[in-house]
Structure 1
Amino acid sequence: MENAYYSQAVHGPFELHDIGNLELEEGGTIRGCNLAVATHGRLNAAKDNAILVPTWYSGTNKILEQVFIGPGRALDPEKYCIIVVNQIGNGLSSSPHNTPAPAGAGHFPRVRIGDDVRAQHRLVTQVLGLERLALVVGGSMGAQQTYEWAVRYPEMVQRAAPIAGTARNTEHDFLFTETLCEAITSDPGFARGFYRSPEDVREGLLRHAKMWAVMGWSTEFFQAKRYRTLGFSSLDDFIVNFMFAYFSTMDPNNLLCMAWKWQRGDVSRMTGGDLRAALGRIRAKTFVMPMSSDMFFPPADCQAEWRLIPDAEFRPVETIDGHLALFGADPNAIAQIDRHLKELLAAKVA
């Protein structure tokens, strides 16, 4: 179904790359799988300056461009070729809302983090001709994909920076995310995924937005009334004109597709459930960067995984903005991430 939100006007410029049929870990197939890709900068002659940036839940290449990419930044398009790949299901790449019947909407197949990374690998090797990635960096679900890259293709990833995310999702976070899904699917207008427009699922999307406000920010964020600093007069104003405004035009099936794979992110699937063995495969110089006040991916969960990675440093980002510090509302948090990434990119690798 058409949705003007997922357009070049809102999220461009990006290019669509048809990588062919993608057979999925859960048994389905995305026929003619499209990856929406935004590229900043150019490959050098040696093809050793490529940085891959996967997207997070609900996010697209546009917010990553606005918050993290620019001259003088760590992700500097004057020095690097920065390849931002929109994850499957985010609305720009192949997703429930843009896949023709009968395979779209409520019939879109289950996708895992590993499917995203295999699709991205096909893109960067077969389409772009890359053999190495100087850095893979992503936040939240982008961190899940970063870990998957470093474990699945250790010889290709030279540096890795998972920000505000874990290599194996926790039971606690699984339950958090389940409430987000139920907020949407419990709306009678959801119609088992065959609604006519997001407006039919308005109440579910509003509940979903409120839950994101509770979990995505932090108790300190609300104690400090940080939403006033961001230009909102009250909590209600913030919920309606920021949180609900952000999610209200998104396709519910797209959100559910991403949430399902978020819940099941687990690099140990490659090693028979052995997380130590999986993270031990990583050869990349790795900086693990949790947000200090994150309730989805608390620092302690990230630290436990950091200890299992051979060449890794633990670099927590101090902020009271919680998980959604990724959105860039706290300039100090973004400055910390920039400093860490610059140091990581300057580090010598084999």
Structure 2
Amino acid sequence: MNNNPYYGPEGHGPYEMIDIGDLLLEDGGTIPNCKLAVATHGALNAAKDNAILVPTWYSGTSKIMEQVYIGAGRALDPAKYFIIVVNQIGSGLSTSPHNTGGAMTGPNFPKVRIGDDVRAQHRLLTENFGLKSLALVVGGSMGAQQTYEWAVRYPDFVKRAAPIAGTAKNTEHDFLFAETLNEAITTDPGFREGRYGSPADVAAGLKRQAKLWTVMGWSTDFFRANRHKALGFESVQAFIDTFMTGYFAPMDPNNLLSMAWKWQRGDVSRNAGGDLAAALGRIKAKTFVMPISHDMFFPPADCEAEQRLIPGSEFRPLASIDGHLGLFGTDPQMLAQLDANLSELLATRVN
């Protein structure tokens, strides 16, 4: 167990640590006293029907959701809704490899699936907040994977769903992408099979990962248009060194690997004996599927193929040459499209 100063309320708060008790895992084992880091905005109304759940993505925490997606006059407006942002297991804020002591610390942390996160969140919402439904589940990337899992697993609980830049079943192609990210870390001699002293020991691996994210996370058009300059960086190298490497360098490698394992195996068809059409056919939520036009991790075609299997759903791609990492909020026009879609979705009457 190491106390990495990167993770904590100073950089990522405010949030509350809520112990949901022992969590039995799909792949075997248990996380005793599983703790979820939860940030809330707004207030629950008397009818308890204005709650919105926002799960987090790979490497991200509740802080970026607060900064980019939630605010007065936005679709996710705390004046109207009770917005609950739950940091996924392995994120570094909730129970994770780096902050768990004893036999589960570091590389010994158990394998956690998207379904484990969603069951943990369901327990949190029902037992801690007394909820019987969610007005909306919305998340990007791994947050989209959790959104799909919620809509399939708890079809009567979720009234509306908005998966952004993510799929219900991870593709073989995307599995390989994530594998290269993992290998960038694990092949660093300083990784020592997960028994490094601090992220600084794995600096070269984390830098390689940041470079891969630069290649895949942004699009070819992003570079052609010199978008890195619009973001304040004179050269692509400065963008890689300062923005991308600076982002990943302080993160705990075992946390990143834990999340990546989960991302690679995201698959709602596990709820229906491997039948994706049957699983997505269970969804009762009014669903807007929102890929990003230039996303190389989760291309629109992969998302549209799934959207067609969801009853009453709509395909609402977001146009942005920033690609997958447009999720960071770098493109105001994309955020405006997203807000318009979410506002329309929240205004849609549902049973």
Q: How many residues align?
A: 350
SS in 2 for 1:269: helix
Residue of structure 1 equivalent to 2:314: 313
SS in 1 for 2:6: coil
Instruction: Output the amino acid matched with 2:184.
Output: A
Is 1:67 the counterpart of 2:68? The answer is yes
Residue of structure 2 equivalent to 1:295: 296
2: CA distance, partners of 1:246 / 1:215: 15
User: Superposed, which structure 2 residues align to 1:318-329 within 5 Å?
Assistant: 318-329=319-330
SS in 2 for 1:129: coil
Instruction: Output the amino acid matched with 2:57.
Output: W
| CA deviation profile, 1:97-143 (whole Å, cap 9, x unmatched) | 00002211010000000000000000000111000000000000000
Instruction: Output the amino acid matched with 1:345.
Output: L
2: CA distance, partners of 1:159 / 1:127: 21
SS in 2 for 1:37: strand
Is 1:171 the counterpart of 2:172? The answer is yes
Residue of structure 1 equivalent to 2:11: 10
Residue of structure 2 equivalent to 1:50: 51
User: Superposed, which structure 2 residues align to 1:310-349 within 5 Å?
Assistant: 310-349=311-350
SS in 2 for 1:183: helix
| CA deviation profile, 1:262-299 (whole Å, cap 9, x unmatched) | 00000000101100000000000000000000000000
SS in 2 for 1:138: strand
Instruction: Output the amino acid matched with 1:31.
Output: P
Instruction: Give the TM-score of the pair, scaled to structure 1.
Output: 1.00
SS in 2 for 1:110: coil
Residue of structure 2 equivalent to 1:264: 265
Displacement of 1:19: 0.4
**Structure 1 residue runs without a partner (length 5+):** none
Instruction: Give the TM-score of the pair, scaled to structure 2.
Output: 0.99
Displacement of 1:29: 1.1
User: Superposed, which structure 2 residues align to 1:244-283 within 5 Å?
Assistant: 244-283=245-284
Instruction: Output the amino acid matched with 1:83.
Output: I
Runs of 4+ in 1 over 2 A off after TM superposition: none
**Structure 2 residue runs without a partner (length 5+):** none
SS in 2 for 1:82: strand
SS in 2 for 1:102: helix
Instruction: Output the amino acid matched with 1:106.
Output: P
Instruction: Output the amino acid matched with 1:77.
Output: P
| CA deviation profile, 1:165-212 (whole Å, cap 9, x unmatched) | 000000000000000000000001101111110000000000000000
Instruction: Output the amino acid matched with 1:16.
Output: M
Instruction: Output the amino acid matched with 1:216.
Output: G
Is 1:23 the counterpart of 2:24? The answer is yes
2: CA distance, partners of 1:110 / 1:149: 19
2: CA distance, partners of 1:74 / 1:142: 17
2: CA distance, partners of 1:270 / 1:92: 28
SS in 1 for 2:17: strand
SS in 1 for 2:102: coil
Residue of structure 1 equivalent to 2:85: 84
SS in 1 for 2:103: coil
2: CA distance, partners of 1:166 / 1:62: 23
1: CA distance, partners of 2:131 / 2:255: 30
Residue of structure 2 equivalent to 1:104: 105
1: CA distance, partners of 2:105 / 2:16: 21
Instruction: Output the amino acid matched with 1:241.
Output: T
Displacement of 1:333: 0.5
Residue of structure 2 equivalent to 1:304: 305
Displacement of 1:28: 1.8
1: CA distance, partners of 2:327 / 2:307: 20
Instruction: Output the amino acid matched with 1:247.
Output: F
Instruction: Output the amino acid matched with 2:163.
Output: P
2: CA distance, partners of 1:110 / 1:84: 22
2: CA distance, partners of 1:9 / 1:177: 29
SS in 1 for 2:262: helix
Is 1:125 the counterpart of 2:126? The answer is yes
Residue of structure 2 equivalent to 1:230: 231
Is 1:191 the counterpart of 2:192? The answer is yes
SS in 1 for 2:211: helix
| CA deviation profile, 1:48-70 (whole Å, cap 9, x unmatched) | 00000000000000000000000
Identity %: 71
Two-structure CA RMSD over aligned residues (Å): 0.4
